[in-house]
Structure 1
Amino acid sequence: MNLKLRNICYSLILALSIVFTSVSTTFAESSPIFSEIIAPGLIRKEYKVDQGDKKTIINVLECDLDNPFLKIAVIPGKGKYNQRATVSQMASRVDSTAMVNGDFFNMLLQGTPEGPSIVDGNLQSSPCVMEGVYSLGIDESNTGHIEAIKFQGKVTAPNGKTYPIDGLNKSYYWHEPSTEYSHENKIQIYNDFWAASTRGDKKNTEILINSNGVIEQISENKSFPFPVPDSKMIMQVDGVAKDFILQNSKIGDKLNIDYSISPDRNWKFLIGGHALLVNNGQKVPYTKDINVLGGVRARTAAGLSKDGKKLYIASAEARTKRSAGMSLDNLSNFMKSIGCDIAVNLDGGGSTTMVVKNLGESNQSKIINPERNGAERAVVNGIGIFNTVKETGPAVGIKINGPDDMIIGQSADFTIKSAWDENYKPVDPNTMTYDLFDSNEDEAAWNITNFLARHTGEVDITLVTNNGVRSTKKVNVHDFDFVESLIVSSDKTKINSEDTVNFTVKAKLKNKKEVLLDPSVLKYQIDGFDGEFNNGVLKVNSLNDNASAKVTISAGDKSSSIRLNDINSKVIKMKINNKSYSINGENKNMDAAPFIKDNRTFVPIRFIVSALDGEVSWNNEARIATIKYDDKIIEIPINNKTIKVNGKEKAIDSPAVVKSNRTFVPIRFVAENLGMEIEYNNSLREVTIIDINKTKENIEEDNKEKPTNNENNKDVVSLVE
């Protein structure tokens, strides 16, 4: 591949990137807003970094490399290279205590790391030949190092001649600073950790070599159409390297293949990174090309203490509501501020994600989200951290599950969220029994694990297990000033005398959450019917010959109302800009939707009157709609502020209009002239029309069919006489 194609690839990557300007911020020694031990030798710390008018959330995994129960490993995608996976998928697959994305990779190619990697004790990728890039490693003495790693190797033919090996399991790239193409006149080695059926440059010659170094097959100028077989390797050669192999060996010959990395520190762990951020405790200017890496982005980095015994893995969230991200300059400042003597930039941007098992939990939680809270990017490898303790014992610590904030009248369950033993291994909360109490010593507030907030202020909720493990959670109980609005519902809206109606009241809080309120903190009022309330239940004594009544429920200065209707009434509901409507709860559709104009609600008159069993006629010449309903005749001229009701003129402030071949009328004026009641729910944008005429007709019919008490008395007297 030539230099021109190289530039095209980098241009494609650059096109996927957004470069932002940034302002450098110098951090003093940073203090976490949250700190928690989640495994032996592993502390999770969360920081909120102030960068002028922007805040950034950064989580740091602080690892004690001398802790014998803490293991740090390179985790490849789905198990091999070319098999990309998200950080969450990798964490779940290997059941890690924590996981973060690792090395850089070219998203347009097969999917292998740019740097070196040691997986399960074996070198599985070599570093690219690049200047100014560094790797993170841990040696056999559990000391961390961040340094430049070099690869060297050679192939020795049967006649003793040798040729250098350029790399192991590498996608194509260009050397720095020579700009040599990695697969031109080079030998590249691929072992069975390379999972794809294509490798490097598909036009190069490939040599299949068994585990003893013997050449089994040769495919000239094209790749073998299969992945590397188990325990074998494929050598890809081109140009001078191809001539060397073909001139000095043949099928059946044994080649001596030898490669290594330097420095050789008996690495237990090794993963590639990019440029340094901190060195010798001082910030390092980022001199590598940042056309793709620049701006304010999500970031992942790793750093070490001066003695190499403490490892810091940091992830900064970006472009979410809670977190802006960081520039490389500010990332250097931050890594220095938390105590790094040396630090290196890892893959960031859309690759940055961190998941952990929070203390006492068996499942991983995502604590650093991908940019813009988007889907996780599948990456080539990650850094996994493990608690290797096998045995678990009785719980020594617990967390309480329940809200941090409540309001008066809200009830909530308080239970064990998580529990852990002395080695920070999770303990199943379902195996534990416990008691709960509050600092107000209000026994009436408790129903087993359910707590009813009855007093404002801070209250301590304490949980004590059967074996004496204790935990306390502080809860702030707010008054109704914390309420934005009330949401009232009932189990029925159409009723008879002597019915009971159950009301449910939710408070929509200023943090947009909704909570259920206990009836004991609410005030109830009914207007229209005669009834009484008991613990949120209305007992209707009489309808008082009314078609409907309004129930108002209040919490402090917040209130909301709901309409109850005589069971014989007809109730029509429709929403603004919605063609669906209902009659007595039965859903129907119309071909024109209500709308609002000049603060008036307009509805298609034909559907409304038809729903009420009335008649509508249209005089096209005079452009007048006529409604006949019971004993009323209403004539409505289009675009005229005067209408006639039973021949008498009445003024109307908003005239009827024709829209989409349908006549729309201002519903409140017309409905009231038809003897109906009407309501508008602004939050739901819902119109409710109640046909009270039908109710009155039923009452009159009942009166005709059923004699009054006086008439009954007269009949009895006559019969006796």
Structure 2
Amino acid sequence: MTRMTGRARTAAASLAATITMSVMVLGAGVTQADAVERVRLAEDVTVAPGITYQAFSVAASHGKVTGHVITADLSDSRVSVGMLTPGKVAARAKLSQLVSAQGAVAGVNADFFNIDETQHPGVQATGSAVGPAIDNGVALKSAVPNGQRFGPGLAPGTSTRDVIGVDYKNRAHIDSLSVDGSIKGHRDKELGLDGFNQYAIPVGGIGAFTSQWGDVSRKRATCGTDTVRAGACSTDVYEVTVRNNRVVSGSDTIGAGAVDADSVVLVGREAGAAELRSLEIGEHIRVDEDLESAGGNRLKFAVGGAPVLRDGKPLAGLDNKAVATRTGAAFGDDGRTLYLLVLDGTAESGAGLTIAELAGVFQSVGADNGVNLDGGGSSTLVTRDEVTGKPVVRNHPTGGAERPVPEGIGLFSRA
């Protein structure tokens, strides 16, 4: 077995030695007396230097739950974190395929995503994630409005802009990323940019779609409202194509198809549509899209996630009733130890964790900050087999098979 170094060795030794641990689940209506649960951890397995895997079980409110956790020592220079992606924002693939294709040694699925459009007949589901994303320092997308989010409710004070990320010093953070972009023309004309490569544009706003989006229809971006995902699609829309910084076309119909590398497609609704109609064919404009960190962090990697644990304390207002198969990511030791956690699929038995209980499990493994990620049929944890080197799905996904996902959190090793 490969020798471990640094904080991952300390964390793994602590987990293995302390077979039963107290989980403080501090959701609304749960007292400290009845919040003490028992976590049992199996022997740790070294996936790569600084990265270990363990199975665990916990007696939760609705029965025994089994799960899986990966611990990564980010102070180990051989360990890095990156996005697992099919190559386009509006595309999906199985996590095991992403791990294999990108040479990761482990990974879990990440953010909630636009999985269906039953409320908007005839509108194509984009398959794209809810929150912001940064891959190797490049901003891929921004967040949809809170009301357009797929997934359980958010804790008070949190939003779809929240992310878990890692900076260029290999330290993990929970942060919030907002759109930092503009549409600038000659004669000092400037329009606001309200998002990019996202499946829902704010009412009255303008969104940009780049070659990173993919070939999926952009019409979904004009459906619903900032507070009601199932709201009707807007009838006041306009789309402009900009190629090599010049307006080349405009249309009242929102299109589909891949966006060329030298082009940007601008989609507006209501007031945003009116602003785009003011642009003239041949007009020179520059579209800039980026993300701004509320915490002032320079993130190399980030995916959207709903915060449940901050500075060692579960957030107020976490749901403590609805149970589900969960995926989560958390960190401790001042951002130097990362934990990726996934439960076995339990749709048939009804067991699972509440979001408040998830925060408690994070505390039990040593984390002081953590986020809830997409669960249910999306929950998947993959590690590289220590003998064959091939990716192995460690949990038992709901339904018995992997669900294609738009993104994942990958662990990489230079060992």
Q: What is the alpha-carbon distance in structure 2 between the residues aligned to residue 104 and residue 90 of structure 1?
A: 17
Give the direction of change, closer, same or farther, for the CA distance of 1:329–1:217 in structure 2 (3 Å limit). Answer: same
Q: Which amino acid aligns with 1:366?
A: V
Measured against aligned partners, the alpha-carbon deviations of 1:94-133 in whole angstroms (never above 9, x if no partner) come to 2321121101112112111111101233111102333613
Q: How big is each residue's C-alpha offset from its partner over 1:351-387, in whole Å with a ceiling of 9 and x where there is no partner? A: 101111132331111111212x433222111111122
Aligned residue among 296, 304, 309 for 1:278: 309
2:209 paired residue number: 190
CA distance in 2, matches of 1:260, 1:225: 23
Alignment of 1:23-102 (within 5 A): 26-27=35-36, 30=39, 32-51=41-60, 54-76=63-85, 78-102=86-110
Conserved 8 A contact 1:30-1:338: no
Q: What is the DSSP-based 3-state SS (H/G/I as helix, E as strand, rest coil) of the residue aligned with 1:336?
A: helix
Establish whether residue 142 from structure 1 lines up as the match of residue 142 from structure 2. Answer: no
| Identity of matched residues, % | 25
Residues 340 and 225 (structure 1), Cα distance of their counterparts in 2 relative to 1, 3 Å cut: closer
Change (3 A) 1:155 1:321: closer
How many angstroms does 1:236 deviate by? 0.7
1:265, distance to aligned residue in structure 2 (A): 2.3
The secondary structure found in structure 2 opposite 1:93 is helix
2: CA distance, partners of 1:229 / 1:380: 21
Give the distance between the partners of 2:301 and 2:331, measured in 1 at CA. Answer: 14
TM-score (norm 2): 0.77
Residue 72 of structure 1 and its aligned partner are, at CA, apart by 1.3
Determine if contact 1:56/1:323 at 8 Å carries over to the other structure. no
How far apart, in 1, do the equivalents of 2:335 and 2:328 lie? 16
Q: 1:294 to 1:379 in 2, by over 3 A?
A: farther
Letter matched to residue 279 of structure 1: R
Please list every run of 5 or more consecutive structure 1 residues that lacks an aligned counterpart in the other structure: 1-21, 173-181, 390-721
Q: Is the 8 A contact 1:110 1:196 kept in 2?
A: no
TM-score relative to the length of structure 1: 0.46
User: Does the 8 Å contact 2:70/2:339 carry over to 1?
Assistant: yes
Partner deviation per Cα, 1:400-428 (whole Å, 9 max, x = no partner): xxxxxxxxxxxxxxxxxxxxxxxxxxxxx
Matches of 1:73 and 1:33, distance apart in 2 = 27
Q: CA offsets per residue over residues 467-517 of structure 1, 9 Å max, x none?
A: xxxxxxxxxxxxxxxxxxxxxxxxxxxxxxxxxxxxxxxxxxxxxxxxxxx
Counterpart contact for 1:286–1:328, Cα < 8 Å: no
* CA spacing shift, 1:31–1:198, aligned 2, 3 Å: same
The residue type equivalent to 1:123 in the other structure is A
Residues 1:252 and 2:282 are matched in the alignment: yes
Paired residue secondary structure (1:368): coil
Instruction: Give the Cα separation in 2 of the matches to 1:72 and 1:128.
Output: 24
Instruction: Give matches, 1:222-371, under 5 Å.
Output: 222-247=253-278, 249-263=279-293, 264-274=296-306, 276-287=307-318, 295-319=322-346, 324-371=351-398
- C-alpha distance in 1 between matches for 2:393 and 2:140: 28
Distance (whole Å) between structure 1 residues aligned to residue 111 and residue 256 of structure 2: 28
Amino acid at match of 2:396: N
Distance 2:196 2:94 in 1: 24
Aligned length in residues: 349
Gaps of 5+ in 2: 1-28, 117-124, 147-156, 223-232
Three-state SS of the structure 2 residue aligned to 1:149 is strand
Of structures 1 and 2, the one with the larger relative CO (CA 8 A, separation 6+) is 2
Other-structure match for 2:408 = 382
Q: Indicate yes or no: 2:239 matched with 1:206.
A: yes
Partner of 1:129: 145
Go from structure 1 to structure 2 and tell me whether the alpha carbon gap of 1:27 and 1:65 turns closer, same or farther (over 3 Å shift): farther
CA spacing shift, 1:298–1:23, aligned 2, 3 Å: farther
Q: 1:18-38: CA deviations, max 9, x gaps?
A: xxxx99963468552221221
**Whose Rg is larger?**
1
Q: What is the DSSP-based 3-state SS (H/G/I as helix, E as strand, rest coil) of the residue aligned with 1:243?
A: helix
Number of the residue aligned with 1:112: 128
1:215 corresponding residue in structure 2 = 247
Cα distance in 1, alignment partners of residues 317 and 30 from structure 2: 15
* Per-residue deviation, 1:324: 3.2
